[in-house]
Amino acid sequence: MTLALLTPLRSAARTTVRTIEDRTPADRDRALDGLRALALLAVPLGHWLLGGFTRDADGALHNTSPLTTFGALAPASWVLQMLGIFFLVGGHASVRSLRRATERGEFAGVWLRGRILRLGRPVLGVTAVWAVLLPVLYGLGVPETTLRTGATLVIQPLWFVGVYAAVTALTPYCLRAARQWGAWAAAPLAAVVAVVDFLRYGPLAEVMPGWIGLLNLLPGWLFAYQLGVSWGERRLGGRTAWSLLLGGAALFAALLLFFHYPMSMVGVPGQDRVNSHPPSLLVLALAAAQSGAAVLLRDRLARLLRRPALWAPVTIVNLSAMTVLCWHQTAMLSAAVPASFLGEIPGLTTRPDSLGWILVRLAWLPVFGVALLLIGRTTRRFEAPWTGVTRARRAAAALLAAGFAAFALGLA
């Protein structure tokens, strides 16, 4: 019976693999797509592994993390924090995309508008849908505390879209800098982050305003993007890549050992310092090392992805990039919220303070993955152009999204 069920699935999988391979242009840069897919998948995997919930006496869910108890797990965040790779690949891809648009006679502003719309549609979709879901879930008995916890998780990864849109808007300027200075164009950005870190963590920290760390937001994430633009302009070669890999790794180790930066690349409840929000110099050191490794491994990865069976899943992930980013927290919540009505469910609603929790959470990952796949089958339409959608409906979606954002940020 099992074999009878598997046979058509295998046949469908082979057909899909062949179709994707046949439709892939000969000049497609498979290595870049592979790197992007790797960075994309690290986002849900990191949130699903390093995030957890506790259930209070009223049945409401609260955010927590296994890193609070198991500090030794912090190195896992070094592997799962791959936004540096994402921005690197984004910079490289933007160079190629803008070049093609220019060759078609398209203005940079038109090109940028298209990129922003591709980023904005899925964000507007997920926030509008959640704005409708909130009163429905509340009416079904989901506690307000759980709803606020869920809203925080849903909106948490969306900050990335705004930052990515901002750095994308700077692509023409990044191009000029790359053509003039090559990979060295990223150095002033690292210097700015280093100065801001010195101000907020050094001897003057007590007199610095709390918002000073926000000055790192743009240069911190623009750093890897600028490296990607230089790479796309062929101004970042093997020798520079080795320098980035070794220099970034050395700086990373020095910041941890001698300057007492937090070990985790993600926020840990109870810690007064956070590396990623906004990015610290430790994030840039990791991004530099990752970028160097990516450049050095590009050719090997391209050869590996010539295998159709490996290339097909990479293509599928890239075609659903924004869906994965926007809906992966919803996938986890789709299991955790119903479980909160059943009591203490290991790996879902129990405190992540034991090795047993980690093992059970690993077992939950396929469940979250299937939930994301099912949700994505419906919500992926938000990535496509909203043809036929009236202005009134778009305005309503924007209003709903704003209301959800206000709720998630504690403004309502």
What's the Cα-to-Cα distance from 380 to each of 18, 258, 373, 375, rounded to whole Å?
Answer: 23, 46, 10, 8
| Per-residue model confidence (pLDDT) at position 6 | 59
3-class SS at 374?
helix
Separation of alpha carbons 365 and 327, rounded Å: 15
| Per-residue model confidence (pLDDT) at position 73 | 83
- Phi, psi at 61, each rounded to 5°: -95, 140
| Per-residue model confidence (pLDDT) at position 412 | 66
Separation of alpha carbons 227 and 88, rounded Å: 6
- Contact in structure between 358 and 78 (CB atoms under 8 Å): no
Per-residue pLDDT tens, the chain, 412 aa: give them.
455 555 676 777 788 888 888 888 888 899 999 999 999 999 999 999 988 999 999 999 999 989 888 888 889 889 988 999 999 999 999 999 999 999 999 998 999 999 999 999 999 999 999 999 999 999 999 999 999 999 999 998 888 899 999 999 999 999 999 999 999 999 999 999 999 999 999 999 899 998 999 999 999 999 999 999 999 999 999 999 999 999 999 999 999 999 989 999 887 776 778 888 899 999 999 999 999 999 999 999 999 999 999 999 999 999 999 999 999 999 999 999 999 999 999 999 999 989 999 999 999 999 999 999 999 999 998 888 887 788 888 899 999 999 999 999 887 6
Q: Which helix (H) or strand (E) holds 74?
A: helix 74-80
Residue in the block written with tokens 């159709």: 308
Q: Which long-range contacts (CB under 8 A, 24 or more apart) does 72-79 make?
A: 73/358, 74/262, 74/263, 74/264, 74/265, 75/263, 76/49, 76/50, 77/46, 77/50, 77/264, 77/265, 77/266, 78/265, 78/286, 79/42
| Per-residue model confidence (pLDDT) at position 393 | 87
Separation of alpha carbons 179 and 272, rounded Å: 40
| Per-residue model confidence (pLDDT) at position 318 | 93
> Quick one: 300 exposed, middle or buried, by C-beta within 10 A (0-12, 13-18, 19+)?
exposed
Amino acid at 345: I
Going from N- to C-terminal start, the domains of the chain cover 78-306
| Per-residue model confidence (pLDDT) at position 1 | 45
